[in-house]
Amino acid sequence: MKQALVIVIALVALLVGVIISAPTNLTGVNLSCGEFAASKIPGVYNKDYTLPTTQEVDYFRSKGANLIRLPLLWERLEPNHDGPLDPAYSGYADTFISYATSHGMNVIIDPHNYARYYSQIVGQSNNSATVLGDLWALLAKKYAGNSNVIFGLMNEPHDMQTENWLTDANTAIAAIRNQGAKNLILVPGNGWTGAWTWTSNSYGTPNSQVMLGVKDPDNNFVFEVHQYLDSDGSGSHAECVNSTIGENRVTSFTNWARTNKYKAILGEFAGANNTVCQEAITGLLNYMEANQDVWLGWSWWAAGPWWGTYMFSIEPTASGDAPQMAWLAPHWHH
């Protein structure tokens, strides 16, 4: 009897271990190039910018990814804030989104604009919060019927009042829900939405205080944070601080989210091809998997057809997979 009990306990422990270490629900990559040459508006397709290809969808899906974050340029999507979506640019995006979602992928629409529209901060001076609401009303109307489309409100708001950004975010959420769209919404914070500065006042009132005021009548939103592992957290250096910096930089945010019963997605993170970064990335992914009550998923920065030799690119080349793909292999959601 005792032996049987020990076996049962061992099996339970094994199962719990499997659950704890299982990959997060949404795992994938930023497929970036649609936001390139942001100063060239509207820009020329396949000269100033391009969109990722169906081959990239197939490649990352074959590896186990089920999430694509798709950076787009707001001014190309919606050239006039009270006008329609641009048929050409939104058409390119829609062709990609339709292919990806019909092949089992989830796609985050990401206006990659840092809370700026034509270089003006949203919600300040003549650029009211309603301009962001206008954009999201159009996108929500278009994609309300596709539950595999996720609405990422904005990429990396910064250098603005956090209270200002909350107003923008709530205006956009209201516009989405007013269209009847039930899609998951990703809400970033101020200060480049850095996980490591979520409780900091370096950019104004901390996100940890202000973003408690997010209002979604459907309660179907999670926070989107970004985290790079170099000395200043900018993602511009090849060196990661140390082998535990990934876990260390997201711990306080994780605790805040858990305390306040929020979930989150790590919308951007990366490391260059070196041993310290490999260990730091592995530690970060393991940490998120062990804290799935908070972490819904992640998307690596970046891949896309024009990244070339960029140190973080996981775009496959003629010689095969990027080195970092081996780091991610155990963590894709299969």
Check 35, 75, 78, 268 and give the catalytic one. 268
Asked if 156 is an active-site residue, the reply is yes
Check 156, 279, 289, 315 and give the catalytic one. 156
Pairing of strands 264-268, 185-188: unpaired
Q: Cα separation of 260 and 248, whole Å?
A: 20
Q: Burial-class residue 163 by CB neighbours within 10 Å (0-12, 13-18, 19+).
A: middle
Both structure tokens of 47:
């000269």
DSSP string, 18-57: HHHHSPPSEEEEEE--TT-STTSSS--BTTTB----HHHH
Residue 296's nearest CA partner among 31, 18, 28 is 28
Q: Cα separation of 314 and 106, whole Å?
A: 19
Asked if 268 is an active-site residue, the reply is yes
List, in order, residues 6 or more apart from 122 with CB less than 8 Å away.
115, 116, 128, 129, 131, 132, 154, 168
Residues marked as catalytic = 156, 268
